[in-house]
Amino acid sequence: MRSLWDDKEAAGFKGDIAQRVYTSRLLGREPALVLHGGGNTSVKIERANLFGEPERLLMVKGSGWDLATIEAPGFAPVRMDHLLKLAALPRLSDPQMAAELRVATVDPAAPAPSVESILHAILPFKFVDHTHADALLSLTNTPHGVEHVREAFGERVVIIPYVMPGFDLARVCAERFPRERTGKTVGMVLMCHGLFTWGENARTAYERMIALVGRAERYLRAREAWTYPVSRKWRAPKTLRLDLANLRREISGAAGGPMIVATNSDPIFIDFARRKDIAALSQQGPATPDHILRTKQRPMLGRDVAKFVAEYRRYFETYAPAAKQKLTMLDAAPRIALDPEFGLATVGKTAAEAAIAADIYRHTVDVLSRAAALDQWRALPTKDLFEVEYWDLEQAKLRRQGAPPRFAGEVALITGGASGIGAACVETFLKQGAAVVALDLSAKVKELSPHPAYLGLVCDVTDAQALRDALEAAVRRFGGLDMLVLNAGVFPSSRTIGAMDSEEWERTMRVNLDANLLLLREAHPLLQLAPAGARVVVIASKNVPAPGPGASAYSASKAALTQLARVAALEWGGEGIRVNILHPNAVFDTALWTDEVLAKRAKNYGLSVDEYKRNNVLRTEVRSRDVAALTAEMCGPSFAKTTGAQVPIDGGNERVI
């Protein structure tokens, strides 16, 4: 680990708070120090209040901010005198502590101060840095942890035994730190938790952190416990999508609603899952309290969800009988699964949540493997795990998050997703919380959205193998398939029957009809496994109820597609799969309609382009996003009891009405 301090860069951050921002970001740049909101920093300043009275304030990282991207407003200003008085209390419950931290914050718009604020306050130094460094955890989380820490750091640190984070930990540190510090002390190690360093300026505090973590790394290296061999020969089996979709269905059942299940078949995870000592290593618990809420106390080994849930409940009842009534507040579903075939699967209500769990577990694999190579892995004390898991503060945080968006945990696949109605559907479904897989012939589909819940795949929907590959990729990324939007289609140029070209007819049928049969057929086993019942929306056309001259291939293909969808509604209704059909008309912001075509058509009818766009009963323009909104609605609860329906979205058409 090397210091990332850069004089030139640092000079751009003037004043104590700006310096605090700068080195906090340096810490945040190193995931082996702090991961996803883990770790926190502070600076003590003096500032005049409204009455001109000087006030000592702790500027401490607020919740909801990540060190990597923190800015000045991410630090909550908390009155030092209040914090120090709190530290002297014999006891304080965690909800009380959270309330007091709020009361002592002088800016009502500030984020909630870190739950470790009191700990920062009692350390009598200007800049204080705190991380949950991987290298340190490999030392502390072993049977001889204290000896390892002492040997690695000598007299440089005060060692605090493991105490659950919160008021009690601050209290223990307030007692022990002044007593045990010496002239050589530059840091404080919290066993099974993390590391504190400090300094009179931001650079000193930061570089002491880097130096101590560097020592821990060298200690592991010297004992051949830093790198561990990874076999590169593993590769996940070619087809896993049904296994994974099954697993997701069971996990979602245990969680009480659809969940995203993301797999990662990196050889590191397959290797780890195949270790002979995997049960002993993985089942004890997490490395640091920070990891618990997102990864649960231990991963599921293999794919037996029912067994995992039963064990989880038994474990819970044994160690935390007093907190039993809170069981209903939490689902018992795993957040991490390790499997010798696919490696790692992580579970989340959103794709981002699942990705965070995977990031954390990637570091857990490092920490565990190194601890095992150094000595023997030992997780947090079992009893404390439940105390942390049901930690009031964390619970309050979960409650504050409120109701998730309606498609949270669900996966939608949209064909023809790169432009027009398809692209509008991608945006709408992402906005409503779904993970979205878009298929398109155009490479544009890959870059359509930077959202972590988006996967764009170049795919020729008329190629059955390409569709199977796309479904496999979709399920590996998100776990299954809940919603299918059949949108890809072609609109051949106007041609009378007398002039119809067989090749064009066949191509139209292939894309608008046959490709949809292939996808429905290949997707069906996945749709059957959708935890909350699958939905299919078919984008057909006004040309079905009201065909146009010169559009025989298009009208016939969409009519046949509509009939196919109606049969699917009949065949699959018993499996809880709803199939509904939309008939859009005159949606001009799609790839089918160039300005040229539009102008030509308008002229044919003797209308201006604008009149032509609004040439319907309601005199309204129908846009791609209107069709997308109705498509999403058809997948939502208002259409829960409707299947096989054909709904026009055309501004009202006299031939249809």
Q: Cβ closer to Zn ion: 194 or 285?
A: 194
Closest residue to Zn ion, based on beta-carbon distance? 194
Choose one: 190-198, 450-458, 521-529, 590-598; the region binding Zn ion (CB under 5 A): 190-198
Q: Which residue has the tokens 């069971």?
A: 250
**Minimum distance from residue 62 beta carbon to Zn ion (Å):** 15
Count of H-run helices and E-run strands, the chain:
25, 18
- Tell me the C-alpha to C-alpha distance, in Å, between residue 551 and each of 486, 496, 512, 588: 20, 7, 13, 17
Helix (H) or strand (E) holding 502: helix 502-509
554 catalytic, yes or no?
yes
Q: Are 357 and 294 a contacting pair, CB within 8 Å?
A: yes
Q: Mask of contacts with Zn ion, 452-491, x by CB under 5 A?
A: ----------------------------------------
Q: What distance lies between CA 261 and its chain's CA centroid? A: 10
Q: Cβ closer to Zn ion: 194 or 286?
A: 194
Q: Are 77 and 110 a contacting pair, CB within 8 Å?
A: yes
Looking only at the bridges linking them, the beta strands covering 40-48 and 127-131 are antiparallel
Q: Which of 113, 194, 416, 545 binds Zn ion (CB under 5 A)?
A: 194
**Minimum distance from residue 70 beta carbon to Zn ion (Å):** 16
Comparing CA positions, the residue from 56, 45, 63, 12 lying closest to residue 128 is 45
Choose one: 194-202, 262-270, 361-369, 612-620; the region binding Zn ion (CB under 5 A): 194-202
- CA 127, CA 111: separation in Å to the nearest integer? 20
- CA 628, CA 485: separation in Å to the nearest integer? 10
Q: Where are the beta strands (DSSP E) in 21-148?
A: 40-48, 54-61, 75-79, 127-131
Looking only at the bridges linking them, the beta strands covering 127-131 and 194-199 are antiparallel
- Tell me the C-alpha to C-alpha distance, in Å, between residue 384 and each of 66, 128, 135, 173, 379: 26, 26, 22, 18, 10
Q: Cβ closer to Zn ion: 130 or 335?
A: 130
**Minimum distance from residue 648 beta carbon to Zn ion (Å):** 58
**Minimum distance from residue 377 beta carbon to Zn ion (Å):** 20
**Minimum distance from residue 129 beta carbon to Zn ion (Å):** 11
Q: Cβ closer to Zn ion: 58 or 262?
A: 58
**Minimum distance from residue 76 beta carbon to Zn ion (Å):** 16
Q: Where are the beta strands (DSSP E) in 525-577?
A: 535-539
Q: How far apart are the first and last CA of the chain?
A: 71
Q: Are 286 and 380 a contacting pair, CB within 8 Å?
A: yes
Strand partners, 78: 58, 105
Which residue in 162, 390, 554, 612 is the catalytic one?
554
Q: Based on the number of CB atoms within 10 Å of its own CB, is 563 exposed (0-12), middle (13-18) or buried (19 or more)?
A: middle
**Minimum distance from residue 38 beta carbon to Zn ion (Å):** 7
- CA 570, CA 112: separation in Å to the nearest integer? 53
Q: What is the CA radius of gyration of the chain?
A: 30
Strand partners, 414: 438, 485
Q: Cβ closer to Zn ion: 62 or 194?
A: 194
Q: Cβ closer to Zn ion: 194 or 651?
A: 194
Comparing CA positions, the residue from 117, 137, 147, 115 lying closest to residue 33 is 137
Choose one: 56-64, 154-162, 192-200, 524-532; the region binding Zn ion (CB under 5 A): 192-200
Q: Cβ closer to Zn ion: 194 or 545?
A: 194
- Cα maximum dimension of the chain: 99
Determine the size of the site formed for Zn ion (CB under 5 A).
1
Q: What is the DSSP string of 386-428?
A: HHHHT-HHHHHHHHHT-PPPTTTT-EEEEETTTSHHHHHHHHH
Choose one: 187-195, 469-477, 573-581, 624-632; the region binding Zn ion (CB under 5 A): 187-195
- CA 203, CA 207: separation in Å to the nearest integer? 6
**Minimum distance from residue 39 beta carbon to Zn ion (Å):** 7
Q: What is the DSSP string of 126-158?
A: SEEEEE--HHHHHHHSSTTHHHHHHHHHGGGEE
Choose one: 29-37, 167-175, 193-201, 594-602; the region binding Zn ion (CB under 5 A): 193-201
Hey, what are 557's tokens?
A: 């293909």
- CA 79, CA 353: separation in Å to the nearest integer? 34
Q: Which residues are tagged catalytic? A: 554
Binding site for Zn ion (CB under 5 A): 194
